[in-house]
Amino acid sequence: MALPARAEIVIIGGGAVGASTAYHLTRLGCRGVLLLEREALAAGSTGRSAGGIRAQFSTEANVAIMHYSIPVFEHFEELFGVDISFHQDGYLFLLNTPELVETFHRNALMQRRYGFDVEELTPEEARDRFLPQLNIEGLVGATWCGREGYADPTSATHGFANRAREQGATIRVGVEVTGIEVRGERIEAVQTTEGTVATHVVICCAGAWSGQIARMVGRELPVYGWRQQAFFTGPFDLLPERFPLTIDFAAGQYLRREGRGLVLGMTDENEPPGFSTHYDESWLEQLIPAAIHRFPVLEHATIAGGWAGLYDRSPDENAVIGEMDSPSRFLYATGFSGHGFMQSPAVGLSMAELALYGKTTLDLSEFSVERFRSGRLIREAIVI
């Protein structure tokens, strides 16, 4: 089917953020929304995400984003008719220094103001309540919030996209944007592998590839790909059937249930920037000793497989959201690092409002790309 010759707004990228933006635009009554995805919906980072959803951030803007987003995930099936398997067993952060405990305590005070009932626990309480197999050696505290958990990002993306279609959006997959025509200050069209579409408004939701899209209008978005790997075990009954998504914060390592098995992941600070999504088992040499130290029963687990995907990483590991000063009407939502799926509901709403009204209900001004020029970086203490 030919692409429409003209679109009111073109969204580039069919991950969770692009699909949510299409949904929110059409919900606000916008017609003529065209979303272009070069592969398939959720084929980028979204479909390779661990699906974690949390409120425990240290900056108020990130908590405000989750204050809108978590209820959307909680009511997803009612809103979108799609079951996203939201396992709401909480996030359990394991903390190994008094300084971290103090930071998480201060954060909890702020998170509670947003209605998130974050509990502060001793290591013994965390172990006895959730994970009797936990080795608490070296831990001094923990936090837990029961409204957090994990869900299926691919189903959520399809949920947003289906509703957007029903509300009038055109969504085309297998179409790559290859250029953006600009005359003076104005965007005139996007060029694609399927022809040219006239438009004056572009929203870049291209994840780790957003820098390439920005260069099409002669601008920079400081976002790069950063490979993250995760692996899953075979059925494993030596840990509880249900337990929180558990993060050994200092080790940068997480563990959660996946069916009867487990998913484990860990950030590799030595990983260089790049776009490779090759799964490389050698990283397990770092992860496995750290995981077995914290959960000695894991020495009985079998590795069933693994995958790699890209964090769309920004220099301060926080989202880059806003509208370029030039050319006019080039909007961007990218750079989410490890938290783009969970933020997609609020970010989609905000992008829709910014495109249609030029302002947002949530104050997301601190996420503007201008912060990298002015040096006002976002100091988010809880990045995984």
**Which of 312, 231, 235 has its CA nearest to residue 265?**
231
Nearest residue (CB) to ligand FAD, 141 versus 338: 338
Verify binding: residue 48, ligand FAD, rule CB under 6 A: yes
At its nearest, how many Å lie between ligand FAD and the CB of residue 102? 25
How far is Cα 335 from Cα 12, in angstroms, rounded to an integer?
15
At its nearest, how many Å lie between ligand FAD and the CB of residue 140? 25
Using CB under 6 A, pick the residue from 13, 90, 244, 345 that binds ligand FAD: 13
Nearest residue (CB) to ligand FAD, 136 versus 151: 151
How far is Cα 33 from Cα 10, in angstroms, rounded to an integer?
6
Contact region with ligand FAD (CB under 6 A), list: 12-20, 112-120, 217-225, 372-380: 12-20
Verify binding: residue 160, ligand FAD, rule CB under 6 A: no
Nearest residue (CB) to ligand FAD, 71 versus 122: 71
Nearest residue (CB) to ligand FAD, 130 versus 332: 332
* Angle between the N-to-C axes of helices 340-357 and 16-27, in degrees from 0 to 180, rounded to the nearest 10: 40
Nearest-Å Rg of the Cα atoms of the chain is 21
How far is Cα 254 from Cα 364, in angstroms, rounded to an integer?
28
Using CB under 6 A, pick the residue from 52, 225, 244, 327 that binds ligand FAD: 52
For 303, the 3-state DSSP assignment is: strand
Verify binding: residue 342, ligand FAD, rule CB under 6 A: yes
**Which of 311, 319, 358 has its CA nearest to residue 338?**
311
Using CB under 6 A, pick the residue from 89, 152, 248, 312 that binds ligand FAD: 312
At its nearest, how many Å lie between ligand FAD and the CB of residue 216? 8
Site for ligand FAD in 175-234 (CB under 6 A): 176-177, 205-209, 228, 230
Token duo for residue 72: 């959307």
For 52, the 3-state DSSP assignment is: strand
At its nearest, how many Å lie between ligand FAD and the CB of residue 264? 11
Cβ(378)–Cβ(384) under 8 Å?
A: no
**Residue with the two structure tokens 């409120």:** 55
How far is Cα 132 from Cα 293, in angstroms, rounded to an integer?
14
Cβ(207)–Cβ(312) under 8 Å?
A: yes
* Angle between the N-to-C axes of helices 153-166 and 340-357, in degrees from 0 to 180, rounded to the nearest 10: 20
At its nearest, how many Å lie between ligand FAD and the CB of residue 287? 12
Verify binding: residue 335, ligand FAD, rule CB under 6 A: no
Instruction: Give the binding site for ligand FAD (CB under 6 A).
Output: 12-18, 36-39, 43-46, 48-52, 176-177, 205-209, 228, 230, 265, 309-312, 334, 336, 338-342
